[in-house]
Chain A
Amino acid sequence: MARSALQFYTYKSYVYKKLMYLCSIKNGAAMKQSQLYKGSLATIVMKLLEENGRMYGYEITQKVKDITNGELKITEGALYPALHKLEAEGVLEVEVAQVDNRVRKYYKLTEKGTTETVNRLAELEDFIRNMQTLVQPKLEY
């Protein structure tokens, strides 16, 4: 009886380990993919805030996921440091509100942030165009 219980727990921890391993692979893959997006994260966030007014952290991750059909996932570990950095730069400002038994921090663009968004978007568009000309195979006959 005791032995079978032990076996059960060993099996359970084995399954758990496998599960954690799978998760780590998945996370690793997501991270590799995000390396390319890393430089544009702030611009993506600013663009979303420009369109939607004020947003909170989870809302931003969901919005990005929805727009890209789940292909681009912004992780918690990347989003909040980016938001805090933008806040310190005076690009974003914070509103705190009490929502369903907890405190929620909303971010929105400041005046400086709105002009900055225009600049950064133009920069990003240039980048995309350059990348396209670099990567695209030349169609010459």
Chain B
Amino acid sequence: MKLTKEEIQFIDTYLIKSEVFYVDVRQELIDHVATAVEASMAEEDLDFYDAFKEYMVMHKKELLKNNVIRWKFSWEVTRQFGLFLIKPMQLVMVVALFFFFRFVDINRYFSAGFTVPNLFFILVMGLAVIQLCYFQLYLKKRFYVIEKTGSLLMVLYYFQLFFMPFFDKSAVSSLTVTVFSFLYLAYLSFFVQALVRFNQHRFNYI
């Protein structure tokens, strides 16, 4: 017996109340719960609410393990980013950047009032604001599959803060600039890649 639209909506509301905020996570769980409930309705001859209650008593704890309530650091995402960094394309980029900064002295474009660390701070924060606007104003729904890359930007931000004292105010070494611009550009392409992949499926979710 197939569930009606209202019954699916009931499961959806239940999961929202259980703090499953990400649409893509919820869609997958809804299908799982609905299929399980349909099966037990057919096998044990229960009505929807009894079958649903029985399922939730037994499986709620396991089911909600898939949920991500807060924006948190994830080893899995960091690992994927690490693997992304050692792709041939990225390695070519790091070499190109290194030679670029070796032969072009960027220090003369900066002054005491506007240093290289300042520029990186603005770049990272700018990207964070753009991402936030995209999530909140454009999509208006939350999708874990793209928001999870945000935690990497946070890592990048702290990394930059931590190494700030090592920046020499008057002259930044080409190696430091290479590392930071490489990480920034790699993150940008990683995010764009996630966006492209997300957009292939997006209209199925909405």
Contacts and interface: CB of A to CB of B under 8 A. Distances in A.
A80 B35 CA distance: 15
A76 B63 contact: yes
23 contacts: A19-B57, A27-B62, A56-B31, A57-B28, A57-B31, A58-B31, A59-B35, A62-B39, A75-B62, A76-B66, A77-B61, A77-B62, A85-B76, A96-B204, A96-B205, A97-B204, A98-B204, A100-B2, A100-B34, A101-B4, A102-B31, A103-B31, A104-B31
Contact of A103 (B39, B58, B76, B205): B205
Contacts of A104: 31
Contact of A101 (B8, B32, B76): B8
A94 interface: yes
B140 interface: no
Interface residues of A, number: 28
A76 B31 contact: no
Given A76-B62, A101-B2, A105-B27, 19 more contacts: A27-B61, A27-B62, A58-B36, A76-B32, A76-B66, A77-B64, A77-B66, A78-B62, A88-B76, A94-B201, A101-B4, A101-B5, A101-B8, A102-B8, A102-B30, A102-B31, A103-B30, A103-B204, A104-B31
Contacts of A70: none
Give 8 nearest A-B pairs by CB, closest first: A77-B65, A96-B204, A77-B62, A58-B35, A75-B62, A76-B62, A100-B2, A80-B66
Nearest to A95: B201
A131 B169 CA distance: 60
B102 interface: no
Contacts of B2: 100-101
A81 interface: yes
Contacts of A19: 57
Interface in A59-115: 59, 62, 75-78, 80-81, 85, 88, 94, 96-105
Q: How large is the interface on B (under 10, 10 to 19, 20 to 34, 35 or more residues)?
A: 20 to 34
Contacts of B63: 76-77
Contacts of A20: 57
Contact of B58 (A23, A88, A101): A23
A85 B205 CA distance: 20
A100 B58 CA distance: 24
Contacts of A59: 35
A27 B58 CA distance: 8
Nearest to B26: A103
A23 B18 CA distance: 20
Interface string B175-206: 00000000000000000000000000100110
A102 B2 CA distance: 11
Given A77-B62, A105-B28, A100 B3 contact: yes
A108 to B, nearest CB: 14
